[in-house]
Chain A
Amino acid sequence: EAGVAQSPRYKIIEKRQSVAFWCNPISGHATLYWYQQILGQGPKLLIQFQNNGVVDDSQLPKDRFSAERLKGVDSTLKIQPAKLEDSAVYLCASSLKPQKAFFGQGTRLTVV
């Protein structure tokens, strides 16, 4: 069974630039999550989708972050404009509701 795919694996951008991350969840998984993990901390939930609807985006900084899940499958997370404090690993996960989550390997973002 294929796992959660994320791209790119690494990204370096300058502050105030924009960046986008892509996630392809496990086939058939209705629930998709984006997490932000700052070095030395546990993952922090940014947004949760159920199919193509948003379940929870209370911790998403909506002035600069946006996410969409077209057709309830793939998802993209965008940051515009990026700040230095956005440097982190961005993790995508998916699950069959209500079950355990499967995580991708993440995208490591460095903002300089």
Chain B
Amino acid sequence: DAKTTQPPSMDCAEGRAANLPCNHSTISGNEYVYWYRQIHSQGPQYIIHGLKNNETNEMASLIITEDRKSSTLILPHATLRDTAVYYCTPDSNTGNQFYFGTGTSLTVIP
């Protein structure tokens, strides 16, 4: 399974875009990139996933580089409620197993 590298922490001003990077240089060709977040004292929550193309949903956008070795999660207008730990985790979508690293702790500042 691919390993991931994420910055341990980031700050973002409320209302600004938060860009969270993830390196997954050993990702396999059939592995999707999933992003989850975990708000304090809650279980992780699914945000978005993608294979090759950029994806957007009501929560966020996902930009995947052409070589698929890295991706960026974009929260377009961060709010205080977006303060959480964000995890990227490659998954084959057949084994459907999610392996989480230590993630990025995002703090949205008023």
Report A's interface with B, CB cutoff 8 A: 4, 31, 33, 35, 40-45, 48, 55-56, 91, 93, 95, 97-106
Contacts and interface: CB of A to CB of B under 8 A. Distances in A.
Contacts of B49: 100
Contacts, number: 54
Interface string B91-110: 00111111111110000000
Give 9 nearest A-B pairs by CB, closest first. Answer: A103-B43, A42-B100, A100-B46, A98-B93, A98-B96, A43-B100, A103-B44, A91-B43, A42-B101
A105 B102 contact: no
Given A103-B43, A105-B41, A105-B43, 15 more contacts: A42-B85, A42-B102, A42-B103, A43-B44, A43-B100, A44-B100, A45-B97, A45-B99, A48-B97, A55-B95, A98-B93, A98-B96, A99-B96, A101-B98, A106-B42
